[in-house]
Structure 1
Amino acid sequence: MSNSTSLFNDVPLGLQRREISASVVGWGGYMVALSCYCTLYQALLMPTPPDFVGSLVWAVREWIVWLLITPLVFKSLRRNINGSLFSYLRVGFIILVATVSFRVSVDVITDTRSVAASVMVFVPRYIAAVAVVLSLWHIYLLKSLTPPVSRPSAPALLAPSVVDKPENKASYPSVILVSKGSDQCLLQINKLECVVAARNYVELFADGDQPYLLRMTMSDVQALLPPADFVRIHRSHIVNIHAIERIKRQSSGNDLVRLRSGRELNIGRKFKEALDQFDVIN
């Protein structure tokens, strides 16, 4: 269990550096660009001489809190790797309250704006900044936390007589780290009933009706499962052959697999041959 969990808790130094560099390069570049814009505006439209240094000082004062807080946001998101919409909204709300409170405090202390004026100025700006930070995490950094998949050299679908050998089964994991709600847990592979594709995730069904979530492709999940026990019956479905109750043949050709839990899954036409090699009740 400690080895699997370490994929998520023992964050590589390279990833931490990427998080810090993303914050420094992103916000540093934004502040410099904002200063250049202000300087150009002064040169073209203002009677006073352009002042790049003054513009840079202003930009830093307005946005330095984001350069400092973004790595902490990434760390918080890293601990909520399930990537649910609720976790993003929760973290985004906390960031917004913290950063707006900081700016309001600075304005009050320096007697720059009233509390109401400061809130009206910074809330729209910082909502946009929250969206940028969360998008940067989701698009650029989240994929770095996906545990590496060791693909077996043998084809994914082999005859039972070949894959039943103990030395072949030993190369597959007995547990897999999955998300359930805001928590993570280890799911035993032999308890797994089926895997269903769900956009950027896959849903793993074992006990109960609520699925476990895993951020991985169907092909990557299939590479983790022993072919002696699991078969892909559709581009979006993988089933445990021991969980199959029967195969329902239909005149239309759209056959179904009925599992012991009562769940029914479609069989893709090009996957029928792979399923027929197993001794399943029809």
Structure 2
Amino acid sequence: MSGTVSTRFSSLFTEQLGPSREEIKFGVMAVLIFIAGTCLYCLSYQVWVAAITPNLTRTAALSFREWGVWLPLTPLAFRMFRNLDARAPWHQQTLAGVALAFIAALAPTAIDQLTGTRPVISSLALFWPRFVAMALVIYLLWRVLLRRAPRASIEPPATAARAQPSRPETLLVSKGADQCLIRLSDVQHASAAGNYIELWAGNQRFLVRSTMGKLEELLPPSDYVRIHRSHLVRVDQIARIRTHRSSNGTVHLRSGHTLPLSKGCRAELLGHNQELAAGMDSSR
């Protein structure tokens, strides 16, 4: 469990590397203002309470020793909170803030060890609670001043999110006792024949076990059109359309084949390619 939490927390600093310029600028300025405020407080205490000569250099050095680690950490904290805001529940955000404070407390603790100021436990007991409060202040600053308004969901609609399946370029068909591959773009027209479909490609006849609906899904709708419940043709293979008094008709193909045109498909055919209307030969 602890390994998983550690991995998630560390990934917040490595995913989408680095804070934005605004986060760096605002983070550094906020820490510098905070350090300046602590210096001013300490100098005022020396003058008005302790009644000693204020020592600006020593006061600034102590302030930077204790709080200087937040200069690089604050922009990173802003970036971390931005990542968490989009995907993590509140308890993970709290855990991340406490962990951040612990990491920050390691810096002054290490300095204490190098200078022999106090034991490790004492240093952590001193700095960690302060830095938890600091992390809370940083979070509030980010939430009030830097957090963007919640974005509208970027998830596309379910129908758009699904990648459109790529259409196959070839189809396995039967020719007599043999099987072969033909290019779907070579199909001139297709007709239902029981449990099979009769395909004409390159003026040759092939059979495939399928339905007209399934075949229609494989063919680009811009090139093929249904002219009857049992017939489908390639638009550029149509030579002439002849209509009858009943509004049914026949479609004459360049290959010499003649296919029936149903009343329900006639409007769709003409709407599919308006140029066909100019070449209609009506025999009312």
Q: TM-score, normalised by structure 2?
A: 0.46
Q: TM-score, normalised by structure 1?
A: 0.46
Report which of the two structures shows the higher radius of gyration computed on alpha carbons: 2
Higher RCO, 1 vs 2 (CA within 8 Å, ≥6 residues apart)? 1
